[in-house]
Structure formats: structure tokens, C-alpha cells
Amino acid sequence: MKALSQKRRHPLAAIALLLMGLLVTGGLYAVAGTVNEAQATTTTYSAQDIEEGEKLFVSNCATCHGLGAVGAPEGAHGNQAGPSLIGVGAAAVDFQVGTGRMPMQMTGPQAQQKPKQFNDEQTMQLAAYVASLGAGPAIPEEQYLDASEGDPAAGGELFRVNCAMCHNAAAAGGALTRGKFAPALAGVSEKHIYEAMVTGPQNMPVFSDANISPEGKQDIVAFLKTIEEQGSPGGNSLGSLGPVSEGLLIWTAGLGVIIAFTIWLTQRSS
């Protein structure tokens, strides 16, 4: 006991204890990361799908993203630099290509949505190729895309806490910094909504299963589809900005009436 007490007072004891704590913490973090990575493993694709996807990638994507999807330096081939796609997963490809954002039509602060260039099979093949390069978020399972099985009330709460500051409480979208924007979510498919949450396109943060569970994401999808179906029963939504836009409209219309009435009175007196 005396020897143990003397070792405890050793000047290196505190450093040894700190290192031990860091090792334990790092080990627990690695285990947690492995669990999350296992949840985000790519879907199994056939060798033919991967081969066809590589051909499509080389022909349509490698100019910006580089051969092997390792990324290209800025200004290569006269185009905007494309980031590395190693580890982005199949879900990122399915979202970007499936919504027409990729390939980009023009350079700019944000990829614009447009009619998609590839059909569903080609999109799947591109996703298969990129998924084969490194583990990443997979295309979500159908069981989590059924909005009728979600809880819109719980999804609305999650949406207001995590998404409304950018997308607006009514999912009408909103402006961001440096020319970017959060798009409106009406008309977006359940799969693409889910994929956006797990991949974080543009300025959007990534909501992993540790942040929002798959069931929580399903609830958010259910909420968005519910408000989309309800529409705007009260008339013109005025951008769904609530009392701000309504008050501005009333003030503008009211001042216009007052000015017009004032002009009419002065003309009568003359």
C-alpha cells in the first residue's frame, strides 16, 4: 500500500492517468463510429452495375470530380473544382443525380435543380460505382419511406427544431448567405427528402442516425407530406411567412389607399 501511495504521488502519474482516459474515450468513440458506419454501409450491387456506372462516371463526371472520383483541382479543364466522392455513399449520388442537380448545368454558388439527365437505371449504376469506392450512407430502405406509417405531429416538432430555421416552418424555403438558399420542400419525393437528411447537400448539415433516428426521419417525411396535402386553405399563402408578410401587405395597401385619398381630396379643393 505504501509503494502504491508513493507511485500515486509520482509527477508522471497525472500524465499517465490523462493518457489512459484519452485511450478509453477514443476506444468508445471508435466503437460508436463503427456502429454508425455499419448502419450506413452501402447496398450490395452487382459487378456489372459497378462497371456500367464507372463508364457513365468517366464520360459525364470525371471532368470535375477526377478519374476515380478523387476530386479535381480548381480550374482543371476550365471547370469548377469538383470534390472527392470517396465515402459519400450511394444516397448522395441518388439525390444529386436523381434531382437533376448533377451534372451541374453551370457554375454557381449552388447546384440548381433541373430535369434529370439520367434514367433510374443509370442513376442506380452511378450510385453503385461511387458506393464501391468507399462506405457511406446507403439509399434508404422502403420501410422508412412510407409517410403513412410516420407520425406527422412528432415529425413537425423535429422539423421545427432542426430544419425550420432554413427551410421555413411551412417548408417554403428561404435565403441563405453567399447566394445560396434552402429550397422549398413541396413536391420532393420521400426518398430524396430522406437522402438529403443523411447526406447534407450544399449548406445542409448531415443528420445521421445518431442525430435523428430512421423513425424520426420517417416522421419528418410524414409531416412534410401532410402539410403538402393540406395546401393553403385560407387563400394565398404569401410565401408562408406568417404575420410578417401579412402585415407588410396591409401596411402597403393601407398607405396606398391613404395616399390616393389625399390626392383625390387636394384635386377637389382646387
Asked whether residue 29 carries a pLDDT value surpassing 60, the answer given is: no
Residue 182 has phi, psi (to 5 degrees) of -95, 120
Q: Is the CATH number 1.10.760.10 carried by domain 44-136?
A: yes
Q: Which residues 6+ apart lie within 8 Å of 139 measured at CB?
A: 43, 90, 91, 94, 127, 191, 195
| The CATH fold of domain 140-256 | Cytochrome Bc1 Complex; Chain D, domain 2 (1.10.760)
Is 192 labelled a binding residue? Answer: no
- 61 appears as a binding residue in the annotation: yes
pTM of the model: 0.71
List the domain boundaries for the chain: 2-30, 44-136, 140-256
Cell of 11: 509527477
Neighbouring C-alpha atoms within 13 Å toward the C-beta of 31: 6
The pLDDT value recorded for residue 81 is 72
How far apart CA 72 and CA 79 sit, in angstroms, is: 9
pLDDT value, residue 77: 46
The answer to the question of whether 10 is labelled as a binding residue is no
Is position 65 annotated in a ligand binding site?
yes
**Same topology between domain 44-136 and domain 140-256:** yes
- Rounded to an integer, the average pLDDT of 66-72 is 88
> What pLDDT, on the 0 to 100 scale, is given for residue 34?
44
What per-residue confidence (pLDDT) applies to 252?
Answer: 86
